[in-house]
């Protein structure tokens, strides 16, 4: 047998260029191995809007069925719908065909086992990568049944259960689907909301005619920002391709860093669940800590990355978890991340006050200004991290924490440095306590040392 490339296998999922790194043969072999490795008798499958998605899903389905697995195909969907359907249909696993926000020539897979628990490098992905190049398990005598299952209505009912629709104000909302998978579901949810949605790039299109649906890229933000201003909207929302993340703009068209939305969301859940646990990642922390502690919640630090956060959420039974990268996790959503729930919850929170969105977030940005994540390409990342840890860790008053790279905290400012898992890049985040001048100085100082 010709060796199958396993280059697409990463720490949390599969992601690679089609058809060289991810293709139908790899998908078929994953399907044939899935039951043996993860014990699943029923597996949910779905795909986003990428052009190669249907053929990859068909090959995966063939492999699963031949191994005796019942396949529930939920069609074109968002990643969070696979999480929902895996739990809702009581399946033993789920596979989403997606490359999220990567360029259009990419595709990939996100895999879960029962209860929508993520399959990562630590929980079976390495074994799966090895298995696709070994002799395949024997095919079942009777192939598994393949069913088309529509979970749309149940999914929409579930996400709407997080808010009281009758209390929503008639807000004007710019909704940028980015030609990703979210458009058809916005159309359905819109019918149940008293808000006015101004939809842009709403048609799913795997050719990405308006660019890759990745709102975190600065060049992709202007279209949403302009639409908010032109339509005098109360809020703007933009989703990535598989809509497991959404990004917010205030009524001035200002892009709001995901960091500040973590505290905003946490506040809401601690009103409903006093004393509840809130998971946060170590890149930027002071705003989240301040809000959670004042609200009487329990802040819990976790390494960033969805597999780590979901595991920690289950362990602590946390009500909510959030990352600065705009991944938001919910206990009642199988501890999984969603890009639809933050959208609905923010509409609900805005309906509870007369204050505009900007007023609610700007105060927090003044209290705890941050640099945003700044990437630097370097020849060799580790010696740089080691040198900066030694230099800043030895300074008076420094506190060093080595969860997810290095975090060095002083009285008035702190920074986090992380290496990328996949490229020679160092990621820097800096924050201060109400001092924008100090923020600029320390950010410039650290970047100069990293890049010299």
User: Catalytic pick from 65, 67, 87, 100?
Assistant: 100
d(CA 448, CA 89): 53
Inter-residue long-range contacts of 410-417, CB under 8 Å, 24+ positions, other chains counted = 412/438, 413/438, 413/439, 413/442, 414/285, 414/286, 415/442, 415/446, 416/282, 416/283, 416/284, 417/385, 417/388, 417/389, 417/446, 417/450
- In the chain, the N- to C-terminal Cα span, in Å, equals 48
Question: Which residues are 197's β-sheet partners?
Answer: 173
DSSP 9: B
Spatial distance between the Cα atoms of 291 and 268, rounded to a whole number of angstroms: 11
**Cα–Cα dist 12/244, whole Å:** 15
Q: Are strands 70-76 and 146-148 parallel, antiparallel or unpaired?
A: parallel
* Residue 116 contacts residue 329 (beta carbons within 8 Å): no
- The arrangement of strands across the sheet holding 246-249 comes to 196-200, 172-176, 235-239, 246-249, 255-256
Let me know if 325 is a catalytic residue. Answer: no
Which two structure tokens, joined as six digits, stand for 325? 């990268």
CA–CA gap between residue 210 and residue 159 (Å, rounded): 28
Give the H/E segment covering residue 227: helix 222-230
Q: Number of helices (H) and strands (E), helices first, in the chain?
A: 14, 21
The catalytic site residues sit at 100
């Amino acid at each position: 047998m010709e060796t199958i490339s396993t280059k697409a296998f990463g720490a949390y999922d599969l992601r690679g260029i089609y058809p060289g790194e991810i293709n139908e043969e790899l998908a078929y072999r994953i399907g044939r191995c899935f039951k043996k490795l993860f014990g699943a008798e029923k597996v949910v499958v779905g795909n986003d809007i990428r052009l190669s998605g249907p053929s990859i899903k068909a090959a995966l389905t063939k492999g699963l069925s031949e191994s005796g697995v019942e396949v529930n195909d939920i069609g074109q969907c968002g990643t969070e719908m696979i999480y929902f359907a895996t739990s809702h249909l009581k399946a033993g696993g789920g596979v989403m065909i997606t490359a999220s926000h990567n360029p259009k020539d990419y595709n990939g897979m996100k895999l879960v086992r029962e209860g929508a628990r993520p399959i990562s490098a630590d929980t079976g992905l390495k074994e799966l990568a090895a298995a696709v190049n070994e002799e395949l398990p024997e095919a079942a005598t009777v192939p598994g049944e393949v069913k088309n299952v529509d979970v749309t209505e149940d999914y929409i009912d579930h996400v709407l259960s997080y808010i009281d629709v009758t209390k929503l104000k008639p807000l004007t909302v710019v909704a940028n689907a980015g030609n990703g998978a979210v458009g058809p579901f916005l159309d359905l949810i819109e019918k149940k909301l008293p808000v006015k949605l101004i939809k842009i790039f709403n048609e799913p299109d795997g050719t990405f005619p308006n660019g890759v649906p990745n709102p975190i890229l600065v060049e992709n933000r202007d279209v949403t920002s302009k639409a908010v201003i032109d339509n005098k909207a109360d809020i703007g929302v933009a989703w990535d391709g598989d809509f497991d993340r959404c990004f917010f703009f205030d009524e001035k068209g200002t892009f709001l860093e995901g960091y500040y939305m973590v505290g905003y969301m946490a506040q809401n859940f601690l009103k409903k669940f006093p004393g509840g646990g809130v998971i946060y990642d170590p890149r930027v922390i002071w705003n989240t800590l301040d809000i959670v502690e004042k609200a009487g919640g329990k802040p819990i630090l976790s390494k960033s990355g969805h597999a780590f956060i979901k595991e920690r959420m289950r362990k602590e039974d946390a009500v909510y978890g959030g990352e600065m990268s705009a991944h938001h996790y919910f206990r009642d959503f199988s501890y999984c991340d969603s890009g639809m729930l933050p959208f609905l919850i923010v509409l609900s929170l805005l309906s509870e006050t007369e204050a505009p969105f900007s007023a609610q977030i700007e105060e927090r940005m003044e209290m705890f200004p941050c640099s945003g994540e700044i990437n630097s390409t370097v020849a060799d990342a580790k010696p740089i991290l080691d040198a900066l840890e030694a230099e800043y860790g030895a300074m008076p008053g420094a506190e060093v924490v080595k969860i997810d790279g290095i975090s060095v905290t002083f009285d008035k400012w702190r920074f986090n440095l992380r290496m990328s898992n996949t490229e020679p890049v160092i990621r820097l985040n800096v924050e201060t306590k109400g001092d924008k001048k100090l923020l600029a100085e320390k950010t410039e100082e650290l970047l100069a040392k990293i890049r010299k």
